[in-house]
Structure 1
């Protein structure tokens, strides 16, 4: 009895001291324990994912890869595999497992090493969220307290679901949803039992047990997981045998990108970082939906790349990018005595060149790199009119004559050499060259040195429909669509003509298309702006002048309106006043603007006179799919004319800045989705002005008049109407001095787009291309030339417009024609074709023309003033002008 009392007393004292010690430890580490609020609102660090408007994944940003799943989405076998391996009594204990702790303690006493863990899933989760993996007593004590804390605040299912999404599983994958994608490129519900067991075995040591880095060790670990599942009765012996003997099928996968649009993704990423900060944007689990559709974005990317290849092929082949062996060895005769037996066993190349190893080949091809449509290959043999290539994977391809006959030698941007007659004129064995596939044919190619950009908008609300910043983002991350300010050339003229209409001119006003030769006292030189080509028609109607892009007429219109008035009018289209030159060259497009700025200005003409704000993001969702933010753009609102008239809302530089700041604020704040309020864009030109400019731009993209009556003339962008076969298109070409920049901007009723082509080196000219007979012969329709068969000096119509046309072929394929509506106060009268005066004649010397009511001509042409083109000297258009 005495001993029992002593034992009880000691036990009581021990328990009391233990309780005091435990309480002391608790208060000691209490400041490091997470709050209840954190446990109740645990947020996973989920990467930001960017989608097209129709739900195609474009990109993923964030160091940690995570694809959150609910417990219901996790396969039953995966749940059982995890429980059997990590914590089979998970649903029975209270956060710590006494049996597991006892086992670990006994092992520590017997071995003196902390080799066995006793952590439950709850403890592992606590460590993953709040602690490190270091094996210290204080960390273990903290882990226990946090686990107990979590069990009181969260249900078992909530803890298990957090574990499924939080646990680190190697190769930057966090959670089993991400691991399934990283290792197998699958969803969880698509995994086999062997793959499930492999993933379930990773939490213990993901860096050394993953099937990519350590496949053999992963097989051993997989077997342990399967044995635990077999012992618990979760699988049968047959399932165990099949899964245990299954081959390792894992390989590293990236995010399941469905549309590679890096320029667009980078723009959205940058905007999200601006709004939320880098860390929050990359870990907040945001699902960002862009305004673009996958179809139009892909069409724009293909159009830009193909257009740059067309330009590149017109200007000749620049030769191989590298060589596998010296040039003189390519034509050497084989020396059988020097041929080794080892080489003869598996020759990679001709026998006498067997010193070129697979490693050499891979290094050379890797150095060349794959971009856009092209990838590098080695030329391993050359026949008379074909050559054979091998790529980095060992696949051989034969390039036939039709895939290389374009390859005249490149001499300069304006000169090409003689056409080749055989393959050896182009390549030699040992060359590293690029190839690409086009129309199911492999073609010799090269990485374009010329650059391009493309932007398409919805003209009514500014939603970006497609954007391309260059040939390849992986070659150059500079986004030329939004960052490159380039001289716009004749793309400025619609805005100048709009200013003229606002200052007393009409579409039928007669302006003298005659050379200007004016002495400039300030510079001491004469200014002689010239037309391109240098042809002058004398008195000419304003519509024809815009359609033919007459430079001197644009200068005379600026003089009539006034420089200050013209510059003020240009700012109405969203152009930055600081970028506009304060001299008469502004009428010819000497100012520099980005393609995004130009397409925004063109949208004003297309939508009837409203200045919209381009935007890229449609909505932002959180990781559970809840809408956090929905865009509420300013829109072209014809019903809001009374509150958005030019008189009541004048547009100045200050007002434009305020509008931009308001738009940015709109992008930064949540929008109340239950509101029907429409944010109206400011009206900057009248609907009548916009209509008349757009109608003039329609004549710029078609042939006009009658060939037989000698009234025929072509707009500089005539290929648009000819190829697309639509009457509801409007557009304008643009070419700068010495052809350093080429533009084409145009629109249909519901889509406006701008294409630009030029060299990043602004001193380099686009040059000219000579006739290429093989390419021309393969073009079935000379009047449909739109690619590498075109000849002459590079211009907006030749270098930039084909990209616009290719895009519109896709964008408008299923869209019915929709003519522009005629606004109020627009009248249509018959005028004399030459003088612009009213006429009573109804023959080919006349035509119907639109006017703002009150500006139509009042005088009739006299009979002796009528000029019949059919009775004049030959006025057939110059061949170079047509082609």
Structure 2
């Protein structure tokens, strides 16, 4: 029998079990699988959250019609820039308009794989993560240009994981919606680059004062280095760090093959030369710019200053430039007549070598109206060495300052100086202006105390072609053209005579220019008006009274025809009825009613255009950001020679063309032989106008015109006070008008005003105004309405010889 196999004992079983390997326990397997499970869950959660976010985040399609915050741009009618108004400077560009060098520079600085990745640069993120782990800080960053677009347009700039995650998902979404070119254009137009500049085109203007297409390689690189930290790498605030950052961008451009070694070396050697440049203003028109700003806000709402609107005004740049110069020259000349008030400030002569002290002093004072600050550095041999604010050195001779008699009062001057050191001393801070006739030379000047206003209109449609509301907009923003209501003085008289012509008075009517006393409680207890000369001229024809601006004749005339009819007639010229009624007395004849220079220009425009009341306007059109016209002016026009006055586009008729021509013919004589005869120096046959000087020379006016332009000039003080003895309109206001009109009418045909039908000339006696035979010595041919024309007397021959001569002639 086989030997039976013995069964192991229980103890042996336990020992054998201890020696053999044991299978892993279930809990251990689960423990090892948890990271995998957790990773799957996290991935699913992240994917679900990303999917959810993908649909919840903003639609990138909105970026295709993005509306940038672009400043309001204001231009002249011929396209010159007046100003830009807005908190952000931006000049948006379409992708094809962006220089390739700019794109290369920004890619080199910010995202060199922009055209390869799908909005998220995994390599960049990995590199940034490694740098964070190894150094504790991110050196190169992980944001792509697309991610920056997502952040700039849709997200906040807070540092959080949620915002970063949203940025990544949104960047991916943007890449699925927009082209790379569209994304790049959005970025380069939106990015902030310091000093209120948004976008690369605005930065080019801000730092280099030129269009982006004119930049060099090193300048593109400087701008491309700004997005990372506009304040830290700003070339104005920190040129040293800006240079380092620019060098990095240039090196990256070279490494990526965008520039050659020679280009890299040359660009690297260029100095940082930047100047903080504001808006490139091509025509100075601060007052019209403010009017345009108000227009935009009223018509397009509070966001009008950031919609990228462009307002084209009716201003003509050449007219505006001449108007600025004429007004300032006239005020400076007026100011010189009243003496020198001394230096602006003084610097201790011991500090004349301290450039910091000089710079501080000069920056404490403005330079209004083209005046230039200059510090007197030394005086030798009756001439002075001066330093301008920009550091330039100039010379001032005694002949360039000899006008400067000391100011002792409005009508009092000190003795005439004989030496320059009697006028200025070393350390004096003074104003100078360029010499108008000697290039490179200067004249001593001072900031005028008086003010002035000038406005010029096209009388055919009311467009404002030049407007200057004061000596300098930044000295005083009070617009005297539209806001300063002042007495018109004698400049009102043409409207009185125009009304009188409709009431039976003629230009030949004789009225006695003699003393008169009125007891009128509405004026004063006793009113004794007189002429400016203090003389009385006896019987005077209406034409002569207006030519020489007699005062007694219009008062007696107003008394004869009545105040009410003249007020009603004056209202036709656009004058405010309430203001006219406030002066419902005989003082109205001398222009006691108060109106603005713009209202005066509009009223005189009725005479200039043949009798039509046109409305002044200054905005020709408004274009939106895309260049579409969203507002177009449609002014009513004065009716020309061949037009139908019933046309809805024709302005309302205020007076007859015959009435307008009769007043014009008299106002032409004002220039030929009357109070405005200085204007005869323009050698024109088509000028008409009227002076206006109020009581005690508070206000000086000249309003005049030809068929193409009507110009109103006012000179006075903002707080009404006298301009000084002999400062009449012909001396204070007329020179400004002449200076401007010399340019304004240069292109107008020099031909007389066209006389309309319905008027006749009748020879009259200059003394009596009675009709006389045409061959009467000294006879004057006067204009009349046919039904008011006096009959020429028939002279009967008193002997046979005279009768025979008459028969055979």
The verdict on how the C-alpha distance between 1:8 and 1:238 changes in structure 2, with shifts beyond 3 A counting, is farther
Q: 1:23 matched to which residue of 2?
A: 48
Q: CA RMSD in A?
A: 2.6
CA contact (8 A) 1:573 1:600 kept: yes
Indicate how the Cα distance of structure 1 residues 109 and 390 shifts in structure 2: closer, same or farther if over 3 A, else same.
closer
Which of 287, 290, 304 pairs up with 1:266? Answer: 290
- 1:741 equivalent in alignment to 2:699: yes
Residues 1:378 and 2:403 aligned together: no
Q: Are positions 1:298 and 2:321 aligned together?
A: yes
Show the counterpart of 2:308: 285
Of the three residues 148, 153, 157, the one matched with 1:133 is 157
TM superposition shift of 1:560? 2.5
Equivalences for residues 634-649 of structure 1 within 5 A? 634-638=636-640
CA-CA distance at 1:5 after TM superposition: 13
Quote the residue 2:670 is aligned against.
700
Residues 295-348 of structure 1: per-residue CA shift (max 9 Å, x gap): 1000000000000011011111112222224xxxxxxxxxxxxxxxxxxxxxxx
CA distance 1:219–1:691, shift in 2 (3 Å): same
- Residues 608, 355 of structure 1: CA spacing in aligned structure 2 closer, same or farther, 3 A cutoff? closer
* Separation of aligned partners in 1, 2:115 and 2:364: 55
Aligned position for 1:607: 609
Displacement of 1:25 in angstroms is 5.8
Q: How many residues align structurally?
A: 765
Instruction: Mark the runs of 5 or more structure 2 residues left unpaired by the alignment.
Output: 1-25, 797-809
- Alignment counterpart, residue 587 of structure 2, candidates 566, 585, 588: 585
Alignment correspondent of 1:40: 64
Q: CA deviation at 1:752?
A: 0.3
**Map of 2:542 onto structure 1:** 542
Q: Where does residue 114 of structure 2 map in the other structure?
A: 90
Comparing 538-547 and 452-461, the one that deviates more: 538-547
675, 678, 691: which one pairs with 1:719?
Answer: 678
Q: Secondary structure at the match of 1:830?
A: strand
Instruction: Return closer, same or farther for 1:35/1:76 CA change in 2, 3 Å cut-off.
Output: closer
Q: Which residue of 1 aligns with 2:718?
A: 760
Counterpart in 2 of 1:512? 512
- Is the contact made by 1:68 and 1:623 (CA closer than 8 Å) also made in structure 2? no
1:101 aligned to 2:125?
A: yes
Which of 772, 781, 797 is matched with 2:730 structurally?
Answer: 797
Relative to structure 1, the CA distance from residue 12 to residue 609 in structure 2 (aligned partners, 3 Å threshold; closer, same or farther) is farther
Q: Deviations over 1:35-77 (max 9, x none)?
A: 4553231111111121111111111111111112222222212
Residue 318 of structure 1 aligns with which residue? 341
Distance, in Å, in 1 between the alignment partners of 2:569 and 2:376 is: 58
* Residue 36 to residue 377, structure 1, CA distance change in 2 (3 Å): closer
1:207 and 2:214 correspond:
no
Aligned-pair CA distance for 1:678: 6.3
Check whether the contact 2:105–2:221 (CA below 8 A) recurs between aligned residues: yes
Q: Please, which runs of 5 or more residues in structure 1 have no aligned partner?
A: 326-348, 645-676, 704-714, 769-792, 864-883
Instruction: Output the TM-score relative to the length of structure 1.
Output: 0.82
Secondary structure of 1:459's partner?
coil
Deviations 1:334-393 (A, max 9, x none): xxxxxxxxxxxxxxx6xxx35873333233322332111322222233345333322334
**What is the distance in 2 between the residues matched to 1:468 and 1:107?**
62
Deviations 1:508-533 (A, max 9, x none): 22222112112235677221111111
Report the Cα distance in structure 1 between the residues aligned to 2:724 and 2:176, rounded to whole angstroms. 75
The answer as to whether partners of 2:192 and 2:199 remain within 8 angstroms in 1 is yes
CA gap of 1:355–1:379, structure 2 versus 1, over 3 A, is closer
CA contact (8 A) 1:324 1:356 kept: no
Secondary structure in 2 aligned to 1:288?
A: strand
Distance in 2 between residues matched to 1:600 and 1:424, nearest whole Å: 50
String of CA shifts for 1:657-716, please: whole Å, max 9, x gaps.
xxxxxxxxxxxxxxxxxxxx963211111111111111111111112xxxxxxxxxxx11
**Shift of residue 480, structure 1, vs aligned partner:** 0.9
The 1:518–1:186 alpha-carbon spacing in structure 2 relative to 1, beyond 3 Å, is: closer
Deviation at 1:862, TM superposition (A): 8.3
| Selected match of 2:104 from 60, 76, 80 | 80
What does 1:348-747 correspond to in 2, within 5 Å?
353=350, 357-383=354-380, 385-438=382-435, 439-440=437-438, 441-520=441-520, 525-580=525-580, 581-638=583-640, 679-703=649-673, 715-721=674-680, 723-747=681-705
Structure 1 pair 10–125 and aligned structure 2 pair: CA distance change class (3 A): same
- Partner Cα separation in structure 1 for residue 105 and residue 283 of structure 2: 35
- Name the residue aligned to 1:336: none
Partner of 1:56: 80
CA distance in 1, matches of 2:498, 2:522: 30
Alpha-carbon contact 1:318-1:409 (below 8 Å) kept: yes
1:751 aligns to 2:680 (yes or no): no
Task: Find the aligned partners of 1:307 and 1:524 in 2 and give their Cα distance.
Answer: 35
Alignment partners' CA distance in 2, 1:113 and 1:183: 32
Indicate the SS of the match to 1:535.
coil
Return the alpha-carbon distance in structure 2 between the equivalents of residues 363 and 307 of structure 1.
31
Give 1:744 deviation, angstroms: 0.2
| SS of aligned partner of 2:66 | coil
**Cα distance in 2, alignment partners of residues 359 and 383 from structure 1:** 25
Q: Which residue of 2 aligns with 1:333?
A: none
Cα pair 1:81 1:200 within 8 Å, conserved: yes
- Alpha-carbon shift at residue 26 of structure 1 (Å): 5.7
Between 684-693 and 451-460, the greater mean CA deviation after superposition: 684-693
Aligned mates of 2:756, 2:791 — CA distance in 1:
22
Match of 2:753 in 1: 820
The 1:87/1:5 distance shift into structure 2, 3 A limit, reads farther
**Alpha-carbon contact 1:757-1:799 (below 8 Å) kept:** yes
Pairwise CA distance, 1:502: 1.7
Question: In structure 2, do the counterparts of structure 1 residues 64 and 603 end up closer, same or farther at CA, with 3 Å as the change threshold?
Answer: same
1:248 Cα shift?
Answer: 0.8
Which protein has the larger Cα radius of gyration, Structure 1 or Structure 2? 2
Equivalent residue of 1:549, what SS? coil
| Preserved contact between residue 388 and residue 396 of structure 1 (Cα < 8 Å) | yes
Deviation string for 1:233-265 (max 9, x for gaps)? 111112111112221112211111222221221
CA distance in 2 between counterparts of 1:523 and 1:485 reads 20
- 8 Å CA contact 1:384–1:423 kept in 2: the answer is no
Q: 1:255 to 1:523 in 2, by over 3 A?
A: closer
Task: Go from structure 1 to structure 2 and tell me whether the alpha carbon gap of 1:744 and 1:521 turns closer, same or farther (over 3 Å shift).
Answer: closer
